[in-house]
Every structure is written in structure tokens, then in C-alpha cells.
């Protein structure tokens, strides 16, 4: 090998070193970005225990943002789980203990066609017959509820999260006695006779 070849080889090594270092720094940066991009977790403390929920900001961005906005506003604090259907769902996010409804933000676009299924432990948005009428109310699936998924080109109920801790609390809520309550002449069915109140809902730090 001539001296010229040695110089060329040394120059190539010196040039490659910064590129390797740059690639390494890029990889570290990508890992940090991925860590920051992890789905947020909401901790919901209730009178029957604490439930931790992962919110699928990656797969249900509109619905996730809507839910997190309500959480950050403190909207859910003091609301109740007002509907419990054994073997099906527990629902909350809209009513106070006296069954008055909290004013909400405008309804959001239905994201039920995001590929997520209404499986046991998942969170979905409650709505009226209009598929794009969901606001603040959500429910937790007690079983795999395929009937709530989109079918035949129609709309389903948008899954936007899942319970990652405290499913035993959800099951405890599902086991309470329910009945019908009348408020200003309007009957509300499947209402827990023992009020199950959300003490606080916060995004985990």
C-alpha cells in the first residue's frame, strides 16, 4: 500500500467517524421522540377505586384529544357512572349525582372505522343515533361487544382507549344494583342506586 493509499484510507475513516456519531445521535433522538410519543394515560379516581386508562392518541386522534380536553378541564370531576348494564357496559361522563347534565363542547367526528374493536376493557364514546353526536360521555366494555363495531359500511362506537389497571374496579361497578330514576318526569334506566362518583380524572405525569 502506498503512502497515498494510506492517506486516503485515513481520510475515509475520519470522515466515517462523524457520520457514525451523527447516526448514533439520530438514533438516540428517535428513541427520545418515540418515548415522548407514547399514548397518554388518564388516572380516574372513583368512589369505588382507581382506574388507569391508556388513551389511543395514535389511532383515535380526534376522540383522544376530545377526551383529554375534558380531563384537563376537570369536567369529569364530580360526575357519576350513570348507566350500568351487566355483561355489557358501564357508562359515565355526563351527569352529576342529582342527574343534571353538564354542558358540553360541540360533538365530534365518529372515528369508529379506525380498526379498533369494542373488546372487554376498551373505552368507547357514547352517542345518539347520529353517528357524529358524541360529546363527553364514554363507556367501558365489560365483554367483547362486536355489535358495537362498524358493520356493512355503517358506523359503530369509536374505541379510543383501554383500561390498563383497575379492571377489577370496573367489574365492581358493574356489580352494583341498578334501577330507574325519574328526573323532571323523564325516566333514566339502569342507574346505579348507589352513586358512583368520579373524584378526579387527571393525565398521569
Supply the CATH number for residue 143's domain.
2.40.100.10
Q: Residues 120, 144: contact at Cβ < 8 Å?
A: yes
Residues 146 and 176 in one domain: yes
Residues 29 and 51 in one domain: no
Distances (CA, A) of 46 to 2, 121, 130, 199, 200: 78, 17, 30, 5, 7
Whole-number pLDDT of residue 28: 57
Domain of residue 162: give its range.
41-203
What is the domain count for the chain?
A: 2
Whole-number pLDDT of residue 77: 98
- Which H or E run contains 4? helix 3-36
Whole-number pLDDT of residue 35: 45
Residues 198 and 97 in one domain: yes
**pTM of the complete model:** 0.82
Residues 86 and 54 in one domain: yes
Q: Rounded to 5, what percent of the chain is helix, strand, coil?
A: 30, 30, 45
d(CA 37, CA 18): 28
Distances (CA, A) of 196 to 50, 60, 68, 105: 12, 27, 21, 24
Whole-number pLDDT of residue 182: 82
Residues 32 and 78 in one domain: no
Residues 23 and 57 in one domain: no
Whole-number pLDDT of residue 23: 47
Whole-number pLDDT of residue 195: 95
Q: What is the pLDDT along the chain (205 residues), one digit of tens a residue?
A: 555 454 444 444 444 444 444 445 555 554 444 445 699 999 999 999 999 999 999 999 999 999 999 999 999 999 999 999 999 999 999 999 999 999 999 999 999 999 999 999 999 999 999 999 999 999 999 999 999 999 988 999 999 999 999 999 999 999 999 999 887 778 889 999 999 999 999 999 7
Distances (CA, A) of 133 to 90, 109, 110, 155, 200: 19, 8, 8, 12, 25
Residues 25 and 52 in one domain: no
Whole-number pLDDT of residue 30: 47
Amino acid at each position: 500500500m502506498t503512502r497515498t493509499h494510506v492517506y486516503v484510507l485515513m481520510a475515509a475513516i475520519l470522515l466515517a467517524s462523524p457520520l457514525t456519531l451523527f447516526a448514533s445521535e439520530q438514533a438516540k433522538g428517535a428513541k427520545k421522540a418515540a418515548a415522548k410519543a407514547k399514548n397518554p394515560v388518564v388516572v380516574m379516581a372513583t368512589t369505588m377505586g382507581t382506574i388507569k386508562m391508556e388513551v389511543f392518541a395514535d389511532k383515535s386522534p380526534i376522540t383522544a384529544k376530545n377526551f383529554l380536553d375534558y380531563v384537563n378541564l376537570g369536567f369529569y370531576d364530580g360526575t357519576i357512572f350513570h348507566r350500568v348494564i351487566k355483561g355489557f357496559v358501564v357508562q359515565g361522563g355526563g351527569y352529576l349525582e342529582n342527574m343534571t347534565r353538564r354542558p358540553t363542547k360541540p360533538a365530534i367526528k365518529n372515528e369508529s372505522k379506525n380498526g379498533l374493536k369494542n373488546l372487554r376493557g376498551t373505552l368507547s364514546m357514547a352517542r345518539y343515533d347520529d353517528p357524529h353526536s358524541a360529546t363527553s360521555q364514554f363507556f367501558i366494555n365489560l365483554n367483547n361487544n362486536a355489535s358495537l363495531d362498524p358493520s356493512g359500511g355503517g358506523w359503530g362506537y369509536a374505541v379510543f382507549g383501554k383500561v390498563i389497571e383497575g379492571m377489577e374496579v370496573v367489574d365492581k361497578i358493574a356489580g352494583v344494583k341498578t334501577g330507574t330514576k325519574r328526573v323532571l318526569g323523564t325516566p333514566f334506566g339502569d342507574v346505579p342506586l348507589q352513586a358512583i362518583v368520579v373524584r378526579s380524572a387527571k393525565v398521569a405525569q
